[in-house]
Structure 1
């Protein structure tokens, strides 16, 4: 009897993170913890004086007593191995990972749960399909360009979660898949973020703390952004075209069934009413409000979460007034609860992933941690090697370090005070060191499971990280090679 071979099943995201946590715990027994001293530095950002707390490069010292190792369990709110889920979930504050991002994801999920309850999105999608037959392919280059521009101009990231909730069902209804929707939203924002000439959360801070004129070197970076955006658009368009010809080729084919169920033949008849239009206009007005707030008033997670809640509430009231999908007042609450529940797995991943950093001692340079020791040791690798090799190693290091510190501004404050003087020693311009930082920081956000924005977007698309990794790794390698080429070119032309 011939037994059918079992296909390899990609481990669940929770399983992957658990084993990474085990590895991090093992490192605490091998690698000694260390600390840095910090100082405040000020820099000019387009006429505004900004201040950041950064580490002092030569101040590193090991903690006395060597490696203590992570215990299996810690009482009193400590960070033992078995505490990593809870401690990860409650770490940080409302301005960032994890607790702020967890709340952000749940509230956005709830808001869109209300919007989906009105069926305005589904009816709007069907109306778009009906009116744009034969021109559907244009959505890919247009959306990819706009989202990449958003990432480059104002550091768009977490906002992509909400847009994915709208565009993923749309592209699936057009015959593509959830992966296509993630590519034209989240991936596009991170390409723009990584290659930006003016991103206030990445390149501007890195230049400021490295004593490089803020927003300098723009022509080189604009060319780089155009090249990366073009490559990303072409790759996405070619992939999407293949999937449209044969949807079963998609890794997301099974999970996309959730969205396809909304577009069965019985629903193809367009029933787009005035109430649906008002809900769509409310969403568009709300998104415009968010973009204005981010650009003009530096709105971030707390404000944006509240704005999305307002959008959802307004959409629910319209749904009740116009009796969309036979909505009643209680349906607003039920829609919010269902939407929040749908994104709860993604929110849990954010906390679990943050637990990895906590097990390593956290990302505070003034508190003894294994992460500080890794940062200091990596910094010593760049001395005594050729300029191009030093620059490329900086890019490689920033790419790896981003797994532990996903925040662009946080990584800039931690690494650039160390990389900038090392660049001087290695004969590499500080502008190239900043370039290595922004490419390493931004591009790896596309694949690392510690990225809250990525996991939130995957949650909105109902795609497991393991399947996403299987798809995106090839594109990630292409981006890595292209980024390496730009870093080496920058050294050759003495980018300054």
Structure 2
């Protein structure tokens, strides 16, 4: 009997999209009224089912709407998206998503996710140019020899650096660029590709889960809750440290086991296939010429400039794409690649990551179905009502799991914050706990589910490494259970301090 294979990432997402479409026939449609700040005219716009209303942009307006957020959070640009107005939920005419909507959802998702898709394609082009110059082969061979006998340092270093990026500026989508670069290094260190995947993805996941100064989650959620973003930062720092240590120990235990006995790898059956993709000439020490050193320096500077721009200059996808494009051109010039060859290699490199780009678009299509079916606010409404009259410990852990569940349908951290915080954070007042704990529960709940969330980045990441989702679940689920239990203990203690 032929062995049944686990579905591809694309198929998994299409199944999820189909189930989401079915949900729009089951759940009632509903909407909260929303409030948007118009900076150009310095006024609020309240949008309801019936019409739109212009309101004065002052604190009295916010108080009258039971939005306990300081006015300056809107006027200084901290909150730029429409926020939900508490106690305004109304059922609307059902908008079930049929077969045509389901078919169109991946296409709409690809259009909506075009920014990150172009980032992935341009990174693919840059990687193609780098591979052609031979700089990767020489650099990886040199690094493999330098770390001989101390390969564990690589695991600690990569996981920690990426976790710092996650907690400070939300390093997530950008990590797509790291897989083709770091996987050959880990293979040269006699680990499997799962170790490289874990260091990058788990580092990003624990960093964003315990965001401290990340403007896309901790700061915007605190602003939408009406509190200073520094409130609760100590608890998030403690959780970040605990989570990072647990992740590093978990990866190290697996890596040591695989290094001693490669058959212990969860992807051992794919060993030859993966190594043929990434381990090009890894056992041959390429000569590190001046030209190759300059190329590697330019390549490294692309990431340094990207991190600087995103974290300090407010850059986003357009600027990041431009950095990688300019980097590819400079490397082409330094490597003396002629114009026709450069275009050919760049396009081929981009094509190699086209499958990853499509996965990102299809995942966004799930959110499109939710929005078009108008059931996101309904889920939020029932979730907020479910926590009424709970004691502190039960309440905060219920919020953890509610946010984990909601993140399946709303994977965007900033989108989740502005949609839910005006509704959820006032619940803390009635329970008798600080609103910063709602912010923490939001981050931890989204973060824990991010480890396995198929509508997040994991399927795109797995597609680069050529690893199945089932094998990732087999590898990561024990860690997710451990982190969930630790998080529940930390949250429970925090509400009684």
| Deviation of the 1:474 alpha carbon | 2.2
Could you tell me which of 74, 88, 94 is aligned with 2:109?
A: 88
Could you tell me which of 185, 189, 205 is aligned with 2:204?
A: 189
| Deviation of the 1:335 alpha carbon | 2.1
Could you tell me which of 55, 61, 64 is aligned with 2:90?
A: 61
| Deviation of the 1:254 alpha carbon | 4.8
Q: Does 1:404 align with 2:419?
A: no
Give the whole-Å Cα distance in 2 for the aligned partners of 1:225 and 1:43. 31
Could you tell me which of 9, 16, 27 is aligned with 1:20?
A: 16
TM-score (norm 1): 0.88
Secondary structure (helix, strand or coil) at the match of 2:288 reads coil
Give the whole-Å Cα distance in 2 for the aligned partners of 1:205 and 1:428. 20
Give the whole-Å Cα distance in 2 for the aligned partners of 1:68 and 1:154. 37
Give the whole-Å Cα distance in 2 for the aligned partners of 1:486 and 1:13. 34
TM-score (norm 2): 0.88
Answer whether contact 1:116 1:335 (CA < 8 A) is retained. Answer: no
Q: Does 1:457 align with 2:461?
A: yes
What is the aligned-residue RMSD (CA, Å)? 2.2
Residue of structure 1 in register with 2:170 after alignment: 155
**Count of residues in correspondence between the two structures:** 462
Give the whole-Å Cα distance in 1 for the aligned partners of 2:271 and 2:132. 19
Residue of structure 2 in register with 1:434 after alignment: 439
Answer whether contact 2:217 2:417 (CA < 8 A) is retained. Answer: yes
Secondary structure (helix, strand or coil) at the match of 2:78 reads strand
Residue of structure 1 in register with 2:287 after alignment: 271
Answer whether contact 2:97 2:369 (CA < 8 A) is retained. Answer: yes
Q: Does 1:312 align with 2:328?
A: yes
State how 1:114-133 maps to structure 2 within 5 Å: 114-133=129-148
| Deviation of the 1:117 alpha carbon | 1.7
Q: Which runs of 4+ in 1 moved over 6 A?
A: none
Could you tell me which of 247, 261, 271 is aligned with 2:262?
A: 247
Could you tell me which of 348, 363, 381 is aligned with 2:358?
A: 348
| Deviation of the 1:397 alpha carbon | 0.8
Question: Which sits farther off after the overlay, 199-208 or 256-265?
Answer: 256-265
Unaligned runs of 5+ in 2: 37-68
Give the whole-Å Cα distance in 1 for the aligned partners of 2:198 and 2:306. 22
Residue of structure 2 in register with 1:287 after alignment: 303
| Deviation of the 1:195 alpha carbon | 1.1
Give the whole-Å Cα distance in 2 for the aligned partners of 1:269 and 1:130. 9
| Deviation of the 1:263 alpha carbon | 4.0
Q: Does 1:10 align with 2:6?
A: yes
Secondary structure (helix, strand or coil) at the match of 2:455 reads coil
Give the whole-Å Cα distance in 1 for the aligned partners of 2:411 and 2:316. 16
| Deviation of the 1:383 alpha carbon | 0.0
Secondary structure (helix, strand or coil) at the match of 2:211 reads coil
Answer whether contact 1:151 1:191 (CA < 8 A) is retained. Answer: yes
| Deviation of the 1:252 alpha carbon | 3.2
Secondary structure (helix, strand or coil) at the match of 2:343 reads helix
Could you tell me which of 181, 187, 193 is aligned with 1:178?
A: 193
Secondary structure (helix, strand or coil) at the match of 2:315 reads coil
| Deviation of the 1:211 alpha carbon | 1.1
Residue of structure 2 in register with 1:323 after alignment: none
State how 1:179-258 maps to structure 2 within 5 Å: 179-255=194-270, 257-258=272-273
Residue of structure 2 in register with 1:324 after alignment: none
Answer whether contact 1:173 1:260 (CA < 8 A) is retained. Answer: no
Residue of structure 2 in register with 1:77 after alignment: none
Give the whole-Å Cα distance in 2 for the aligned partners of 1:456 and 1:313. 26
Residue of structure 1 in register with 2:392 after alignment: 387
Question: Which sits farther off after the overlay, 375-384 or 35-44?
Answer: 35-44
Answer whether contact 1:60 1:376 (CA < 8 A) is retained. Answer: yes
Deviations 1:153-193 (A, max 9, x none): 12111121112221111101211122211221222022111
Give the whole-Å Cα distance in 2 for the aligned partners of 1:72 and 1:490. 47
Answer whether contact 2:142 2:285 (CA < 8 A) is retained. Answer: no
Q: Does 1:337 align with 2:347?
A: yes
Answer whether contact 1:44 1:208 (CA < 8 A) is retained. Answer: no
Give the whole-Å Cα distance in 2 for the aligned partners of 1:71 and 1:209. 34
